[in-house]
Amino acid sequence: MTVNEAISLQKAVRGRVQELKALRSEVSASKETNWYGERDKTEKVEPQFDVKVVDSKIVEIELFLYKIDAAIKQSNAATTIAIDANLESLLAPLQ
């Protein structure tokens, strides 16, 4: 995998983590809604997924993100680039 592919994958996976965190919030408890008046009605919504399963998937993905981030940083630390520039003149104060 190239660094560019890893960075693109990292963005997609971060989006997935956000979706799973929102899902975890939704499935953490059952919800019951009551309407009174003209139409007495109770609506109960049960979680579709086990919170522990969703949470373990989030942890698995975040561990992957940590590993890919560490690999990218290690690659960047070992890669050198050649730039033709005079740093002293670039960073010198205005006169």
Handedness of CA 50, 52, 53, 55 (dihedral sign): positive
On whether the pTM is more than 0.85, the answer is: no
Report the alpha-carbon distance of residue 77 to residue 21 in Å, rounded: 32
Scanning the structure block, which residue is given the tokens 């989006």?
15
Tens-digit pLDDT profile for residues 4-47: 899 999 999 999 999 998 888 877 777 777 777 767 777 777 77
